Structure 1
């Protein structure tokens, strides 16, 4: 006895959704779920029928309790029905996948999304197309990145614009009419500067000081005036004996010299002594 011939090659199941427009397995699952729902409804209807029958019989026979028998019968009926449904639809699913949804591999069918394609291009052309696709992908990625940067820049510019408007609002007082008077001040200052710049330069003084003569400072003049005042007070007739003695002592102190005079004298003596020592060193 010879073995049956093998089935002809069929289209892979992965391509069936592209050819049919839906997934065959999902269709079979929906059919099986509908059958299971109908079986469940049949069990519920049987339970209601048995409950009515048991209630009618219990009215005639008060000692009979059909609850346990009804539950056991319904469980057995549901188990038997579900097992038959599962076996039947397992066969139905296998038969459908082998017969209804089995498309021969040599059948000249073109998928809708492949209509008009030239599938006879050489490998070199395919490689060029792949390179072009990669380049287009890089361009798309660059455009998306640029769009993100532009969006971020627009958001940042909007925030800067808001801050600039806030600063402008804070400086809006400069537009007041009273501030317009300040616009003429730069011109006045420029005129004043030009006038001062046009003045002739000051000539240095022709007077020269004699060597060795130090001009008397204002403090020395003040001390001299104080000494003269003390002398006048000491020689006046309006003071008593004690006052005359005090005035004479003050006048004598002022005649000796003030602190500034003593300081100037010490500086002069120190300068002459240092110059003398320098001469001695040069002689030696």
Structure 2
């Protein structure tokens, strides 16, 4: 390798070690030099303007001096800027070749890479890259799922508030239903009792053995008539007592449920034969 050949460098390695790009430092230095030039020329112009003002107060003609000052300050500033640009071009090239240069043969370990095994085989590095990519995809999926869950929670909260508002608006229905059930329960019990009373079996009428008139034909006919009448009277009394007991139980249950007076009595349905038997029984007892 000849001595005139520039050394092989790694620009990114210098940036990694320094934490900033070297070119940014050089640009900042150039800006600082330009600011110094502008400030220096401004101070020189201020001094010369004061000198011209003294000449003007002394009564001398200062117009040529002002024109010469204007052109002279512009020429001075341009000269200084050109000299600074030329000098910093050389300084920038020299810095990149001598200051911010790292020979590729120089073993350097960055602070954040200290303790790492950099001799990893290429196959292992590829496997690790695939694993990292897989974990990155899983993390992205988890983030999307979490965002979806948050949206669902917000929607569920809105639906819950709407449902609670609806429930509050119709909450008056439940007490009304309970009151209606409580009010109609005695009526339902009363109707069930009436149905139970209606289902009481009717007494079978005994076959007629003669007329309802007392026979006078003979002793045997009178005995037959008397026995038949006694049987009918026994069946009628049994049916009447049973019906009256059912009505009394119904009245007692209604009074306890409603706390009011008992409902009107319902006439017991009695067939004509039973009615005749009851009438004849009352007539015979009278």
TM class by shorter-chain length?
0.5 to 0.7
Q: Are 1:150 and 2:157 an aligned pair?
A: no
Corresponding residue number in structure 2 for 1:83: 82
- Which stretch has the larger CA shift, 14-23 or 148-157? 14-23
Matched residue count: 198
Aligned partner of 1:25 in structure 2 is: 23
Instruction: Note the C-alpha offset of 1:197.
Output: 7.5
Q: TM (normalized to structure 2)?
A: 0.61
2: CA distance, partners of 1:172 / 1:140:
47
CA 1:95–1:82 in 2, change beyond 3 Å: closer, same or farther? same
Structure 1, residues 121-151: CA drift from partner, whole Å, max 9, x if none? 2222122112211210121111011011101
| Displacement after TM superposition at 1:63 (Å) | 2.9
- CA change 1:23–1:191 in 2 (3 A) is farther
Show the counterpart of 1:139: 138
Unaligned ranges ≥5, structure 1: 201-284
* Rounded Cα–Cα distance in structure 1 between residues aligned with 2:141 and 2:194: 65
Q: Which residue of 2 aligns with 1:166?
A: 165
- For 1:273, the equivalent position in structure 2 comes to none
Distance apart, 1:114 and its partner CA: 2.0
| Corresponding residue of 2:101 | 102
Taking a change above 3 Å as real, the CA distance of residues 29 and 193 of structure 1, as seen in their structure-2 partners, is: farther
Write the deviation string for residues 127-185 of structure 1: whole angstroms up to 9, x where unpaired.
Answer: 21122112101211110110111011011011111101211221233466x76423425
Cα 1:187–1:26 change in 2 (3 A) is farther
Separation (CA, whole Å) in 2 of partners of 1:24 and 1:192: 105
1:15 alignment partner, SS class: helix
- Deviation per residue, 1:81-128 (Å, 9 max, x gap): 111111111211111111111122222211223222212222221221
Q: Give distance in 2, aligned partners of 1:195 and 1:126.
A: 92
The answer for the alignment partner of 1:262 in structure 2 is none
1:115 maps onto 2:114 in alignment: yes
Query: What is the Cα deviation at residue 57 of structure 1?
Result: 2.0
| CA spacing shift, 1:130–1:192, aligned 2, 3 Å | farther
What's the counterpart of residue 277 of structure 2?
A: none
Label 1:197 to 1:115 Cα distance change in 2 as closer, same or farther (>3 A). farther
How many Å separate the matches in 1 of 2:6 and 2:100?
14
- SS of 1:148's equivalent in the other structure is helix
Tell me by how many angstroms 1:58 deviates. 2.4
The RMSD of aligned alpha carbons is: 2.8
- TM-score in terms of structure 1 length: 0.62
| 3-state SS, counterpart of residue 172 of structure 1 | coil
Q: Distance in 2 between matches of 1:192 and 1:6?
A: 121
